[in-house]
Each structure stands twice: as C-alpha cells, then as structure tokens.
Structure 1
C-alpha cells in the first residue's frame, strides 16, 4: 500500500513538473512536451487529484491526523529529491578578489 502511495505522489509531482512554464518553453526538449503544451491545465488537475488520492488512501488506512501527517512527511523528501534531480546544482563562478 505504501509503495502505491509513493508512486501516486511521485507521478503527481512529475505531472506538475511537465506542466510548468520551464518545461513548455521553446528551448526545452522532452517526450511529453506536446502533451504538456496542449493539456497543461488538465495535467495540473490530474496531479492534484493524484495527491488527494494518495492522501485519502493514507487517511483511510491510519486515520485523519496520522494519515495526513504521514502523507506530508512522506511527500516532503520526495519533493526535495525531485527538485534536485530535475535542477542539477552547479557551483557558481565567483571571482576571488583579495581585499587587502
């Protein structure tokens, strides 16, 4: 059951990513770009429905307070890892000037 909730949450986050303006820009490339350009509002609605479904599953299994908190704690690291995976971090180029 937890794996199913994990997949629903991860799929919802990915749908939110492909519906962003950054992904739909002319410079970006991707397999789902035509789908994202045409149906971006539907993708967002579907993503939020997936989030609601995964939260509902946890609430039904563990009760309202425990289910919601466990979904929130479960979704936060997934969001962070998805952001790190999609936006590679590069060191900034700074000039080292001595202030002597």
Structure 2
C-alpha cells in the first residue's frame, strides 16, 4: 500500500504492518475523543515514526496514487479530526 504523510512524501508499506499501526491509530482516536492533547501529540508522532520505520520511501518524483493519507507531524488535533473516518486514520 502507498501511504502519503502530508508535507513529507510517500512510502510503500506492506499490508502485514497494518495490525501494528491500527493499535496506534486506536490509541490516537481515544486521545482525540478525550481531548488529551499531549497524548494525541505523542501518539501521532509514534504512528508517523512507525510508518517511516516500516515503510520504504518512494522517490520524490514518483507519482503513485496514495491509498492512505496521514497528517503532518505538526497537525493540530482539529485538523486530524477533519481527516478521520469511523475507523480512525487507518481503515480496518
């Protein structure tokens, strides 16, 4: 799956990693719902760091369609809320 981190670029991520990422996504959703700004910030950074760690960066000139778009590391709680689906940022 091709994942875009807004403001950074794209990475190719194997589908087998999504169970691990969904745990962080669920935690992020809980923190957002409770208004835990510091927990939200910590978990968003952990989620994006894990995507960077597990994914393979695509060249800057690659124009692959992104199947998943994640917010920038400095995104606000309100900006991320606008990106959410019922499943959080990561479907499944």
Using structure 1 for the length normalisation, give the TM-score: 0.37
Using structure 2 for the length normalisation, give the TM-score: 0.39
